[in-house]
Amino acid sequence: MPVLEFTQKTMPQTGEEFSWLLDEARRDANPLDDLLVLNRELLAFERQYGMTSVEFYTRYKRGEMGDDMDFIRWVGRYRLYRELKEEIDRSLTIVLTERVAAPA
């Protein structure tokens, strides 16, 4: 997950400059590394609260968990994890399908 941090001195001066920096950060991003970081963060929440992320998310969606800031962070990270995992799974399916379809 690209993170851009700016100070007053390093703030992009134009929208074009910001877009270029964002594109560069996206090109340098590694989805597998991001997935591992999110997984570690989810495991920390799971240990702290004694339930899996799936169980937590199900209970959260039913309104059983409240809106504690930790829970909001957990929900956000869980959603990002699922989206990234689905994106990686889709990409792997495409690659594997192309390999099978390619002539030997």
41, 77 contact by CB (below 8 A): yes
- SS3 state at 38: helix
Q: What is the mean pLDDT of residues 51-75?
A: 97
Taking only Cα atoms into account, the Rg of the chain, rounded to an integer number of angstroms, comes to 19
pTM of the model: 0.71
Instruction: Report pLDDT for 31.
Output: 85
Instruction: Report pLDDT for 103.
Output: 65
Instruction: Report pLDDT for 62.
Output: 97
**Cα(12)–Cα(100) distance, rounded to whole angstroms?**
45
For helices 53-61 and 31-49, angle between their N-to-C axes, nearest 10 degrees? 80
Instruction: Report pLDDT for 4.
Output: 73
Mean pLDDT, rounded, of the chain: 89
